[in-house]
């Protein structure tokens, strides 16, 4: 049980650090706090709705593995949507290497 909590803590900390660096590199100074607020809001909403959505998939598929496979595709889909929309927005930095 404790090993599971250690890996969860490491992965959560890595996600927060990576997301903060990504926002810092891609958003302008004026829009960085807005992006951080959206990150926190979406994260909390996902933590609230995630178990409910997983339970519904679990009931529909009657298989834990199948429900988990379906739910695991949702973060990949959301990352794809975010990355495609980020480059279209007015807040995207064109000089990310500078």
Tens-digit pLDDT profile for residues 37-78: 888 888 888 888 888 888 888 888 888 888 778 778 877 887
Tens-digit pLDDT profile for residues 19-31: 888 888 888 888 8
- The number of beta carbons lying within 10 Å of the beta carbon of residue 56 is 12
Q: For the chain, how are helix, strand and coil distributed in percent, rounded to 5?
A: 80, 0, 20
* Dist CA 49 CA 46 (whole Å): 5
CA–CA–CA angle 50, 21, 2 (5° rounding): 50
């Amino acid at each position: 049980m404790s090993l599971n909590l250690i890996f969860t803590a490491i992965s959560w900390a890595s996600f927060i650090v990576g997301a903060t660096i990504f926002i810092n590199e891609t958003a302008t100074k004026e829009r960085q706090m807005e992006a951080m607020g959206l990150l926190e809001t979406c994260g909390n909403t996902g933590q609230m709705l995630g178990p409910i959505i997983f339970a519904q998939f679990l009931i529909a598929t009657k298989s834990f593995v199948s429900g988990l496979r379906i739910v695991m595709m949702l973060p990949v889909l959301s990352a794809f949507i975010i990355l495609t929309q980020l480059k279209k927005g007015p807040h995207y930095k064109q000089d990310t290497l500078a």
